Chain A
Amino acid sequence: MRFSPISCEQREQMLDVVGARSVDDVFSVIPDEVRLRRPLDLPGGMSEVELVAHLEELAARTAHAGSLVSFAGAGCYDHHVPAIVDAVVSKPSFFTAYTPYQPEVSQGTLQAIYEYQSMICQLTGMDVSNASLYDGATALVEAALMATRATKRGRVIVSAGIHPEWRETLATYAVATGAELSECPTADGRTDLGRLAALLADDVAAVCVAQVNVYGVVEDVAAVAEVAHEAGALAIAVTDPVLLGVLEAPGALGADVVVAEGQSLGSAQSFGGPGLGIFACRDRFVRQMPGRVVGRTADVDGRVGFVLTMATREQHIRREKATSNICSNHALNALAAGAYLNAVGSAGLRGIGSLCVARAHYLRDALIGTGRFSAPWDAPFAREFALRFDGDAEEFVRAMVDHGFLAGVPLERIAARRPDPGVDASGVVLFAVTEKRTRAQMDRLVEAVMSL
């Protein structure tokens, strides 16, 4: 396939204007020693028919939420994406646009982001949201770094209930930025408040805790925020926005900054990316915030309009003094999140959350009832829960594939590189139950477990 519309004849005309005999002439500005004098060693091009067949063949060799009934979560969920969401993000004037630097012809993107920011503030109970970051893990990093700037303190405490991959991301960045990290283990599935108190000191910039942690357990954010504040540290809450119809807004629980992975709001699982980094905070941190933010203002004729604003925090203005190096964000996923929240509304979000919670409780009881699973702790949970299998967790998940299920995620797989000292991960499987999972599907899973 070729996407350049210029004909051979036109090319000759252009060469004439440029005053070159050939295209190779034009490339003579590249020193000879670094010119590639051979064709690229890549396969030849394809027609659209061939290409589609090739891609379909690759896709067909990948199981997906339509071919395996999925109970897998651990940060990426098979929630329903309403048809209207894909209709919105498929509009070419949204997805083929650049960052809205020319507001006069970017009101669509800008207003959609302003509305997204508004919705995130409503959900989280924060005053201000940025226009998005890459994913939940990097949003957590940015929040931790912002806390060190805002408090002028160097250490960040992270609950080991936060997804191991997020903690590992934080650790990678900490090496580069010089921030110090302390991890607080869990006890019985929740952040160990005793250990947390012992870790707190006057050098701590923030305490990071998950409202719904990697084990699916609902944590006591208010208690964590309170001890953090007593030590002069900020409270950074990790949340899951799709559950904020049923769960209290982290802002109402004392969080100063709220971050989340927003994939559950209308983005495909897509093998883990692109997701949506949600970042929201209190007003007083607005000038320390990373990333772009949209504000409402008026044009010269007094019409309501929207612009990127407070850009003096950003790399293209502030260079090495910027609050972050982020440039491209995940605007299209933020657009999807906005369309999603409009589609479900407040009542729908509550309904989806309640349904997930009810079904997750049903499945957990039923799996325990098989005699093959035991509960590692007794703690409140929402859409996801951890159970210990009486055998190898990887083997269990693989066996379930043959029954048509992606039955869950073995905890050891995700936690191996960054274990939580408070949890014995052996045999533990994380099960997620979205509103797409029916009672019939759960009953079939239980039957399959019984047949093992």
Chain B
Amino acid sequence: MSQPTAQPLTGRLIFEKGTRESRCIEPPALDVPEIDLAEALDGAVRAEPPALAAVTEVDIARHYEHLASANFGVDTGFYPLGSCTMKYNAKVAEQACRLPGFAGAHPYQPEETAQGVLELMAGLADALAEVAGFPAVTLAPAAGAHGELTALMCFRAYHAANGDPRRRVIIPDSAHGTNPATVAMCGYEVTTVPSDARGGVDMDALRATLDTDVAALMLTNPNTLGLFDENILAITEAVHAVGALAYCDGANLNAILGKSRPGDMGFDALHINLHKTFGTPHGGGGPGAGPVCVTDALAPYLPGPLVERRDDGTFGLTWPERSIGRVRSFLGNVGVLVRAYAYIRALGGDGLAAVSEQAVLSANYLKERLRGAYELPYDRTCMHEFVLSGRRLRKEHGVRTLDVAKRLLDYGIHPPTVYFPLIVEEAIMIEPTETEGLETLDRFAEVMLRIAEEAAENPDLLHEAPLTTPVRRLDEARAVKQPDLAWRPDA
């Protein structure tokens, strides 16, 4: 008899499970007079039922348990994914967003019945304003990129109100892809400025391209190399000198809580990724939330409605005077806002500063442990993350950064961000976050050093990695050439 083997945990679709008669949830019984659907719906009644799975609750429970076991989250292990801030997600915040007063509230219930959740939202906005150094905040944007777009729309409205429409937005070559995509979506043209040898914005190049056609500069600070731009005040000053506005991509705010504030750096607006800095879970892709903070000059343009604290101590909704309008339905991703509020209150002001202190120390610690085995193209004190290059491994052993990343999977570690920022060849971008213990950091360092040795000793081992994961390297070319994007009953 052959060796017994367990069934693979993934690959078999839910539609292929159960029987035709399998049921999980049955709707309640009809307790009102039956009506003729075709008549009620004016003939718009569905002819062919949708082919959904027919399964029992046990089938569903096992199906997703199997899928979950083939997934890697922060609770599974170390997740040093640079620029994504994969910190531990506090369980108390998960519990908080499920409280009936938050989870069961309706966005249109009379405001006097929603004072608790409105107070929470106002409190969160106040806390974000203090951390960021800005006077006004909208909690509406659903994600970082949505926040970027919201802010640029406010910039556009601001320039238009001044009778000074402008066409260009400047972005450094180290920027996240969402920045240029947002610029294009907002009807502006992208001008890219290079980084200098120290990894900051090239001041000469910036000055050369700044003119009165520039609407804004978008800058991540600390930047995507994990470096604080030392010229930040000169940069924002130069931007303002031509009448343009300075936008801060807040993706890296986890480095500077209580240490430095974008509002004090001369920025006019900032988005905050609550799902990075403020510990809300990434959800396998979302939902996040991307509140936007702005100066007094831009506050009248914010999207509405905003939560307002009234003089009588109650809370309500208000519209900024020259609002750009809505950027979404309802008020915001409140479930995410509740988690972020819980996180901020749990830590308090001192706790937030301690977050950045540890995040920055841990990143510098790993940088020191890994230098030598990997190249460090910008050898400076980093903030909460740093970028290595696998250039030498590629040249000497034919091993690419992708191979290093895949080999990490065999050691049970989620790879860092790779091939980003684009200005570093074979980039490996490492962000340990403050929630990892020294033992975890040390093991990661040892594994990375071991992989560098493996690259020299047995490069094929890395080319073939991963060997131990639920599936191995996937045929991405086939996925593009023969797209299979949905199961169909007849296929």
Contact = CB atoms under 8 A, between A and B. Distances in A.
Contacts, number: 733
B49 A346 contact: yes
Given A104-B473, A342-B60, A137 B329 contact: yes
Nearest to B477: A297
B238 to A, nearest CB: 15
Interface in B285-326: 285-288, 290, 303, 319, 324-326
22 contacts: A30-B256, A41-B130, A59-B102, A61-B116, A64-B101, A92-B76, A93-B71, A95-B89, A96-B281, A109-B284, A114-B13, A137-B326, A137-B329, A268-B98, A270-B334, A272-B107, A272-B332, A326-B146, A329-B143, A354-B37, A357-B41, A381-B40
B381 A26 contact: yes
B115 interface: yes
A3 B90 contact: yes
Residue among A86, A175, A271, A341 having the largest count of chain B Cβ atoms under 10 Å: A271
A198 interface: no
B32 interface: yes
B52 interface: yes
Given A97-B283, A172-B324, A346-B49, 9 more contacts: A60-B116, A94-B67, A94-B73, A99-B285, A104-B409, A104-B471, A176-B149, A321-B184, A347-B49
B394 interface: no
Interface stretch (B206-214, B239-247, B431-439, B446-454): B431-439
A329 B333 CA distance: 12
Contacts of A249: 46, 48, 50
A274 B352 CA distance: 25
A351 B27 CA distance: 6
B351 A45 contact: yes
Contact of A1 (B37, B42, B284, B351): B351
A194 B172 CA distance: 51
B484 interface: yes
Instruction: Kindly list the 4 A-B residue pairs having the minimum CB-CB distance in the complex, ordered from nearest.
Output: A272-B330, A59-B101, A64-B104, A45-B348
A186 interface: no
Contacts of A90: 94
Contacts of A168: 325-326
Contact of B92 (A1, A13, A114, A271): A1
B101 A247 contact: no
Contacts of B66: 108
Q: Is the interface of B mostly helix, strand, loop or mixed?
A: loop
A352 B27 contact: yes
B461 interface: no
A30 B353 CA distance: 15
A132 interface: yes
Contacts of B133: 36
A452 interface: no
Interface stretch (A70-78, A228-236, A420-428): A70-78
Contact of B474 (A10, A298, A394, A414): A298
Contacts of A112: 64, 67, 284
B348 A36 contact: no
A4 B358 contact: yes
Interface in B118-150: 119-120, 127, 130-131, 133, 142-146, 148-149
A325 interface: yes
A300 B84 CA distance: 29
Contacts of A303: 8, 11, 471-472
What range describes how many residues of B lie at the interface? 35 or more
Interface in A238-280: 244-249, 252-253, 261, 268-275
Interface in A410-438: 413-414, 417, 435, 438
Contacts of B13: 111, 114-115, 118
Interface in B375-421: 380-381, 383, 405-406, 409, 414-415, 420
B266 to A, nearest CB: 8
Residue among B44, B92, B130 having the largest count of chain A Cβ atoms under 10 Å: B44
A422 to B, nearest CB: 18
Interface string B446-478: 000000000000000000001001111111101
A75 B330 contact: yes
B152 interface: yes
Contact of A327 (B48, B144, B261): B144
A319 interface: yes
A105 B130 contact: no
Interface in B45-87: 45-55, 57, 59-61, 63-76, 79, 81, 84, 86-87
B32 A439 contact: yes
B102 A62 contact: yes
Contacts of A27: 259, 357, 360
Interface in B358-382: 358, 360-362, 364-365, 368-369, 380-381
Contacts of A175: 153, 156-157, 324-325
A53 to B, nearest CB: 11
Interface in A283-332: 286, 292-301, 303-307, 309-310, 314-322, 324-332
A445 B81 CA distance: 53
A15 B362 CA distance: 9
A150 interface: no
Contacts of B352: 40, 42
Given A299-B473, A329-B286, A331-B285, A1 B50 contact: no
B90 A359 contact: no
Nearest to A19: B368
Nearest to A323: B181
A100 interface: yes
B45 A358 contact: no
B204 interface: no
A3 B46 contact: no
A122 B49 CA distance: 9
Interface stretch (A123-131, A201-209, A367-375): A123-131
Interface in A162-221: 163, 165-166, 168-169, 171-173, 175-178, 211, 218, 220-221
Nearest to A276: B287
